[in-house]
């Protein structure tokens, strides 16, 4: 999948909230869907001074051969260049082989060795869990690789486009990080346009309504749309976070587990981190299932029913 516009904007927002530094690990070398001009324009939109950068001097990976027509024959910046622009001088890549120049070699479907435990301050992954047979081991490895205070951002397909091996629902991620006591977890559902040949804009973004999960009398309904969808997940490891706990689906969760879950989720709910991902345009989905909020273009989470009525009134 690589690193597309919503992912990049989330990185920028996170770096502005809390600088990205220390040991940064990419899960595989990543295609970054930005030309030099486009990335500098996005940085400017977020108030970042780019005067010292010359587009032609940014590192590119040559002409894109990605099978996405909106990026055909474009020169795209490298993943290393993206992180340099965010103030990270060096990043390492982890992969199961060195064929794309990865510096760390390990098969993430197998437990990581001790040398990799607590080795990362920041992990960025542009699509691994949807391409492996054992995503549970992979997400456990990510958690074990993080130091306390370490952060993870990843994107995976949430629809059967571009041949995912598995499709994981948004609650799968939230439940794992909540039950393991992470300091923060944000899950965003990206709903792309109706054109199945593009992951470009426009796209609508939704997030899980945590208040509904905290309320014992309410439940979350699965999100559904006949479009290309992906999930962007952010998580921050706490001092007491674990990695081994396996959550039980909400319909079968015990009363004891619900107490732990809701207490941990309430703590996440209080985290001051701003939202990282937004929609680019008004809402168009007319049947948004219960328990989800619409991410407006100002990064505010809003009631989708109100947004639908506002959009209809403006037409």
Would you give the distance in Å from CA 244 to the centre of its chain?
21
Task: Name all domains of the chain by residue range, CATH numbers in brackets.
Answer: 5-314 (3.40.50)
Angle between helices 170-179 and 255-269 (to 10 degrees): 90
Between strands 203-208 and 292-295, the pairing is: antiparallel
- Rounded distance, CA 309 to CA 307, Å? 5
Q: What is the pLDDT of residue 194?
A: 62
Other CB atoms closer than 10 Å to residue 314's CB: what's the count?
Answer: 7
Q: How many whole angstroms separate alpha carbon 98 and alpha carbon 229?
A: 30
Quick one: pLDDT at residue 276? 98
CB 85 within 8 A of CB 3: no
Q: What is the pLDDT of residue 69?
A: 63
| Prediction pTM value | 0.95
The per-residue pLDDT for 62 is 60
Angle between helices 5-17 and 36-45 (to 10 degrees): 40
Q: Percent helix, strand, coil in the chain (nearest 5)?
A: 30, 20, 50
CA distance 153 to 166: 19
Q: What is the pLDDT of residue 64?
A: 47
What does pLDDT average to in each consecutive run of 10 residues of the chain (315 residues)? 90 98 96 94 97 96 60 85 96 92 95 98 96 98 98 97 94 98 98 64 90 92 91 98 97 96 98 97 87 96 92 79
Q: How many CB atoms lie within 10 A of CB 35?
A: 18
Strand 229-236 and strand 60-63: the pairing is: unpaired
């Amino acid at each position: 999948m690589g690193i597309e516009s919503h992912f990049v904007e989330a990185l920028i927002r996170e770096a502005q909230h809390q600088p990205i530094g220390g040991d940064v690990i990419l899960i595989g070398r990543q295609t970054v869907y930005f030309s030099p001009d486009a990335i500098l324009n996005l940085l400017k939109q977020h108030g970042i001074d780019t005067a010292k950068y010359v587009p032609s001097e940014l590192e590119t990976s040559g002409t894109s051969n990605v099978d996405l027509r909106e990026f055909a024959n474009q020169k795209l910046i490298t993943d290393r260049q993206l992180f340099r622009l965010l103030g990270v001088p060096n990043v390492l890549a982890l992969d199961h082989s060195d064929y794309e120049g990865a510096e760390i070699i390990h098969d993430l479907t197998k437990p990581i060795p001790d040398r990799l435990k607590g080795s990362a301050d920041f992990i960025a992954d542009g699509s691994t869990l949807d391409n492996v047979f054992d995503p549970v081991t992979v997400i456990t490895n990510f958690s074990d690789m993080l130091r306390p205070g370490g952060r993870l951002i990843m994107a995976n397909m949430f629809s059967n486009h571009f041949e995912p091996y598995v499709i994981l629902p948004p609650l799968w991620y939230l439940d794992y990080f909540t039950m393991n006591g992470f300091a923060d977890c944000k899950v965003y559902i990206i709903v792309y346009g109706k054109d199945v040949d593009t992951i470009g804009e426009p796209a609508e973004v939704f997030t899980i309504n945590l208040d509904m999960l905290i309320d014992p009398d309410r439940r979350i309904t699965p999100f559904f749309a006949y479009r290309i969808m992906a999930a962007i997940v952010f998580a921050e490891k706490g001092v007491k976070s674990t990695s081994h706990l396996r959550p039980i689906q909400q319909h079968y969760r015990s009363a004891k587990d619900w107490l732990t879950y809701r207490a941990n989720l309430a703590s996440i709910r209080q985290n001051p981190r701003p939202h990282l991902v937004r929609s680019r345009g008004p809402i168009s989905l007319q049947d948004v299932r219960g328990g989800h909020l619409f991410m407006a273009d100002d990064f505010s989470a809003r009631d989708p029913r109100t947004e639908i009525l506002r959009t209809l009134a403006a037409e």
